[in-house]
Amino acid sequence: MENMYDKGEEEGDGMVVRFKASARHLSSSSPFFRALLLSGFSESIKFKAEGSVAVSTKQWDADAFLYVLKILHCKHHELPRQVDLDMVAKVCVVGDFYGCQDAVRFATQCWITKLKPVPNNKYRPLLLWLWITFFFRMPASFNEVTSIIITQGKGVIGTLGLPIPAPIMGAINNRRREAITDLVNHIHEEHERYTSGDLGCSFECGSMMAGGIDRNLKFYKLRPVDGFEAPYHNHSYMSVVRTIEMFTTPRWYDVTSTYSSYGYQYTAHQCHDSTYASLRDGWNGHLDGLELKDFVKLR
C-alpha cells in the first residue's frame, strides 16, 4: 500500500482526497469493494487489471478513512494509540458503511478504554457514545448511555447523522415521552383525588391542595395551553421532576376552640395529606436504559 495517500485537490465545493489501495485487501475484507470487483462496471475492470484502486473520499473524514484503509491492509501498527471520541465515531461510521465492522472492532478496541467517561448531560458526546456502544456491541455501556439520554434528553432525540438504527432511536424517544407523560398523568390523578375527597382531611383541605396544584401547573407552564405536551420540546424527564419538586405547598390556618380576649386562635393546618409528597411517588433518579440484545444478536 505504498503511496496510498494523495493530498487531493479542490473539486466542486470542497477538497477531494484520493487513496490508492490494494484490490485484494479491500475485496477480502469489505463486501462493498467485493461487490465493486464483481460488478462489471469500468471501476471493476480497472480493479481487476491493476490490482489496486484509487478511492476518492469527499463524504468521509480523510483521517478516519485512512485509518480504516490501514486496518484493511493489516497495518494496525500504523494506527495511533489514542484518538478522541469524535474520531472513534467517524472510524466506526466508515467501517459500518464498507461492511468491515469486525475488522475495525478488532483493530480499534484499545481506543475505547482510553476515552473519557460517558458524560451525563452533554447531548453530542452522548449520541457519539450511543453509536460507539452499538457498533462495538457493549451491552452495559449501551444501557448506561441510553438511560442518560432517556432521562436527560430534551425534545425528540436525533441521530446527528450517525447510522444508529431507527428502532433504537424510536425506543429512546418513546420511553422518554412516556416517562414524562406518566409524571403529568400522576399529577392529574392526585388532583382528582383531592377534588373527589379521597385525599384531604376535609373539604377545605382538599380544595386548598387541589387549587395549589392548579396554580403550580400554571406558574411553571406545565399545561397544554402553555405548549407543554408530547413530545415535550425543551423539557427532559429530569427537568420536569425538578420542577415538580419546586411546587409550592399551600399554607392555611385552622380556627382552634381556644378563645381569648384577642379572639379565636389560629394554628397552621397540618395533616398527612397537606403536602405534595404523594406527587413524588415512584420517582427515580434515572430511567432504565435499553437492552442491546433487543436490537442486535450478541455473540
102 plus 183 within the same structural domain: no
User: Does residue 291 sit within a domain?
Assistant: no
Q: For residue range 123-172, what is the model confidence (pLDDT) as tens digits?
A: 999 999 999 999 999 999 999 999 999 999 999 999 999 999 999 999 99
User: Does residue 75 sit within a domain?
Assistant: yes
What is the domain range of residue 35?
Answer: 23-115
> Quick check: 195 pLDDT over 50?
yes
Lowest-pLDDT choice from 6-10, 114-118, 119-123, 259-263:
6-10
**pLDDT score at 43:** 58
User: Does residue 154 sit within a domain?
Assistant: no
Q: For residue range 240-258, what is the model confidence (pLDDT) as tens digits?
A: 999 999 999 999 888 665 5
Q: What is the mean pLDDT of residues 193-221?
A: 96
Beta strands in the chain (DSSP E): 5-11, 14-22, 52-57, 253-260, 263-268
Beta bridge partners of 52: 22
> Considering 100, 115, 130, which residue would you say is the last residue of a domain?
115
Q: How far apart are CA 225 and CA 21, in angstroms?
A: 60
**pLDDT score at 230:** 94
3-state secondary structure of 6: strand
CB within 8 A of 40, min separation 6: which ones?
A: none
178 plus 273 within the same structural domain: yes
178 plus 261 within the same structural domain: yes
**pLDDT score at 47:** 62
**pLDDT score at 190:** 96
Q: How far apart are CA 187 and CA 201, in angstroms?
A: 19
User: Does residue 264 sit within a domain?
Assistant: yes
- How many other CB atoms sit within 10 Å of the CB of residue 245? 11
204 plus 101 within the same structural domain: no
273 plus 173 within the same structural domain: yes
Q: How far apart are CA 73 and CA 157, in angstroms?
A: 37
Closest CA to 74 of 99, 100, 48, 45: 100
User: Does residue 228 sit within a domain?
Assistant: yes
> Quick check: 84 pLDDT over 90?
yes
**pLDDT score at 74:** 84
User: Does residue 149 sit within a domain?
Assistant: no
Q: How far apart are CA 150 and CA 148, in angstroms?
A: 6
94 vs 259 pLDDT, higher one: 94
Give the count of domains, the chain. 2
**pLDDT score at 254:** 81
The cell numbers describing 184, all together, are 403529568
Do 16 and 8 form a contact (C-beta atoms < 8 A)?
yes
**pLDDT score at 259:** 58
Q: What confidence tier does 89 reach under pLDDT thresholds 50, 70, 90?
A: very high
Q: What is the CATH number of the domain that holds 87?
A: 3.30.710
**pLDDT score at 142:** 97
| CA contacts within 13 A on the Cβ side of 217 | 23
Q: How far apart are CA 299 and CA 297, in angstroms?
A: 7
Q: For residue range 2-50, what is the model confidence (pLDDT) as tens digits?
A: 444 444 444 555 555 666 666 666 666 777 777 766 666 665 666 666 6
Q: For residue range 214-241, what is the model confidence (pLDDT) as tens digits?
A: 999 999 999 999 999 999 999 999 999 9
**pLDDT score at 25:** 65
**pLDDT score at 5:** 41
**pLDDT score at 82:** 95
